[in-house]
Amino acid sequence: MLNRQGRPTSAGDGAITADTGTFTGNRALLQEEALIFESGRYETTGVDFDEPENFSPRLGGLAREGDIGLPGLSEPETMRHFVRLSQKNYGIDTGLFPLGSCTMKHNARLNERMARLPGFADVHPLQPVSSVQGALELMDELSRYLVTLTGMTSVALSPKAGAHGELCGMMAIKAAIDAKGEGETRRTVLVPESAHGTNPATAALIGFKVRTVPADTDGTVRVQAVKDLIGPDTAAIMLTNPNTCGLFEPEIVEIARALHDAGAYFYCDGANFNAIVGKARPGDLGVDAMHINLHKTFSTPHGGGGPGSGPVVLSQRLAPFAPVPFVTPGAEGLILVEHEKDADEKPFGRITAFHGQMGMYVRALAYMLSHGSDGMKQASEDAVLNANYIRAGLRDLMSQPFGDKPCMHEALFDDSWLKDTGVSTLDFAKAMIDEGYHPMTVYFPLVAHGAMLVEPTESESKSSLDLFIASMRDLAQAAKRGESERFAQAPFHAPRRRLDETRAARQPILKWTPPEPMREAAE
């Protein structure tokens, strides 16, 4: 069956299910929404311009001759389209968002307010530096805070996401290795098997070979396992701490020492910094480079594709290779060093067109200043406490892959407790949607079978955690009772039912093609 817009309506086609039992397909005040191309009409427009008089285009032969092909809508139709789309979004402002490793914490309104101050929101990257001294001062101050919190020497602010920060940090490591004339030999990067996929991808992207470090039975990396792989070809390790199993790597200092003794570098994936801010400084642990996801640890909004911000802190050994641009004091106030030739040291180059995400800098600094050092420490402690509260509330029903022991800021479960129930991790996650929760991270890290990684963050209250635990317990007991129909078909109450995710990933349809009748109408 095709709907009014020519899209298939049966679930089997992996598209719309219109099984709402209503004439419109709407569910009470939850409205169905077509694509703008489907609801718009080529022959209509929301604005009317008079034909210009005595006008001759000066585009030579380049003027468009055919229709532009944009969907026309009236102003109210346009308004409703985008407002309805916005209502389909589940965000941290809607409910608990327990996506492990992503640190979906509350984005304080104060930070938003500060980011909208005209002096920050309206700056243009090509403005004369004399007119943006306040913005540069903020970047300088944020840098000082990041360096202080991490115990490192310097910071490159410009990377625009965690993965981009990884690239920046690894390029600094590569530059340091090249500067020592070891570029031909040090070609291998060690990456634990629990690592985020961006780590091996980053190393491979800049030409390193990746060797996998096996995890120990308790989910952590042993120094001996690292030593077994270290050789003259080792450039660096990329290690996450706390790791992606939510566990602190106890041998991190020994691992750092082993690498340094071998002339290699220690890249730390700092995405999980939220668990240790104010408690431990990566610089003291022997880290040479670490990205910080401002959009995780320091509460700047994320999800839906950005914008993120991934500054990289660097140790003394790597600081000289930090990329341009950077802020530094000049004769008449702060200046931006834009070109490698103007730097005293040896920047490896530049990795963004301009200076990074100003709005994220403002939000992150507002978060830091409003919390203070004691507040940031308490946020870390509460994040860890909340994760353990959830772990303790579920551990009699759900299995933990590395034993029943305290975690850091996220609690990891595997799927062995679902054995013989006919319910998979994916089914369980889909059933959570019916309960009004965005599911936790599933099937990551790969070291836990059918992983479910739950990160509540510090911003959840006890009552919201209690309701979440009660909902999870209700689902878990239903799964154990064999109520598999509640899971196999879930979600029942979402605007869309279960999608063919594999097909969507393998054969993405990224461009809308008009169904035949519309194409004819347009011609």
Ligand X SMILES: *Cc1c(COP(=O)(O)O)cnc(C)c1O
Confirm or reject binding of residue 162 to ligand X (CB under 6 A): yes
Which residues 262-301 are close enough to bind ligand X by CB under 6 A? 269, 271, 293
* Residue span binding ligand X (CB under 6 A) among the ranges 157-165, 222-230, 256-264, 412-420: 157-165
96 binds ligand X (CB under 6 A): no
Q: In this chain, which of 149, 163, 190, 433 binds ligand X, going by CB under 6 A?
A: 163
Site for ligand X in 172-211 (CB under 6 A): 196, 198
- In the list 25, 73, 99, 101, the residue contacting ligand X (rule: CB under 6 A) is 101
Q: Which is nearer to ligand X, 246 or 320 (CB)?
A: 246
Spatial separation of the C-alpha atoms in residues 165 and 309, rounded to whole Å = 8
In the complex with ligand X, the residue whose CB is nearer, 73 or 447, is 447
**Residue 161 beta carbon to ligand X: minimum distance, rounded to whole angstroms:** 4
State which residue, 161 or 189, has the beta carbon closest to ligand X: 161
Residue 220 beta carbon to ligand X: minimum distance, rounded to whole angstroms? 15
Beta bridge partners of 155: 313
The residue among 274 and 425 lying less far from ligand X, judged by its C-beta, is: 274
Alpha-carbon distance of 251 to 247, in angstroms, equals 12
Instruction: From 159-167, 273-281, 355-363, 364-372, give the range in contact with ligand X by CB under 6 A.
Output: 159-167
Between 162-179 and 198-205, two packed helices, what is the crossing angle to 10 degrees?
40
Between 392 and 431, how does the x/- string for binding to ligand X read (CB under 6 A)?
----------------------------------------
Side-chain-side CA neighbours of 260 within 13 Å: the count stands at 13
Count of positions on this chain that bind ligand X (CB under 6 A): 14
Check binding of 244 to ligand X (CB under 6 A): yes
Closer to ligand X by Cβ: residue 186 or 295: 295
CB of 310 to ligand X, least distance (A): 5
Question: E strands of 79-163, at which residues?
Answer: 154-156
Beta carbons within 10 angstroms of residue 471's beta carbon:
17
What's the CA gap between 290 and 283, in Å, rounded?
Answer: 9
Please state, in angstroms and rounded to a whole number, the distance separating the CA atoms of residues 509 and 491. Answer: 23
Residue nearest ligand X by beta-carbon distance = 162
Q: How far is the CB of 361 from ligand X (least distance, A)?
A: 15
8-state DSSP, 134: H
CB of 11 to ligand X, least distance (A): 32
What 3-state DSSP class applies to 72? strand
- Beta-carbon count within 10 A of 223 CB: 18
- Considering beta carbons, is residue 132 or 358 the nearer one to ligand X? 358
Who's near 209: CB < 8 A, 6+ residues apart? 187, 188, 189, 203, 233
The piece of 155-163, 333-341, 348-356, 360-368 that touches ligand X (CB under 6 A) is: 155-163
| Cβ distance to ligand X smaller for residue 310 or 323 | 310
| Paired strand residues for 213 | 192
Nearer of residues 162 and 359 to ligand X, judged by Cβ: 162
> Which of 25, 159, 286, 310: binder of ligand X (CB under 6 A)?
310
DSSP string, 469-517: HHHHHHHHHHHHTT-THHHHT--SSSSS----HHHHHHS---S----HH
Give the CA distances from residue 236 to residues 166, 185, 214, 249, 370, in Å, rounded to whole numbers and listed in that order: 12, 12, 16, 17, 36
139: left (phi over 0), alpha (psi -120 to 50) or beta: alpha
Q: Does 219 bind ligand X (CB under 6 A)?
A: no
Interface residues for ligand X in 13-52 (CB under 6 A)? none
- Cβ(111)–Cβ(366) under 8 Å? yes
504-507-512 Cα angle (round to 5):
85
> With respect to ligand X, which residue has the nearer C-beta, 143 or 293?
293
Minimum Å gap between C-beta 135 and ligand X is 23
- Of the candidates 161, 247, 268, 334, which one interacts with ligand X according to CB under 6 A? 161
Q: Residue holding tokens 């009409």?
A: 41
Q: Does 240 bind ligand X (CB under 6 A)?
A: yes
- Measured between alpha carbons, how far is 275 from 256 in angstroms, rounded to an integer? 20
Smallest distance, Å, CB 455 to ligand X? 9
Tell me the window of 160-168, 177-185, 211-219, 256-264 that interacts with ligand X (CB under 6 A).
160-168
Return the number of the residue (99 or 398) whose C-beta is nearest ligand X: 99
Min CB(203)–ligand X separation in Å:
13
- Cα separation, 519 vs 262, in Å, equals 66
Q: How far is the CB of 110 from ligand X (least distance, A)?
A: 23
Is the separation of the CB atoms in 311 and 155 below 8 Å?
A: yes
Residues near ligand X, by CB under 6 A: 101-102, 161-163, 196, 198, 240, 244, 269, 271, 293, 308, 310
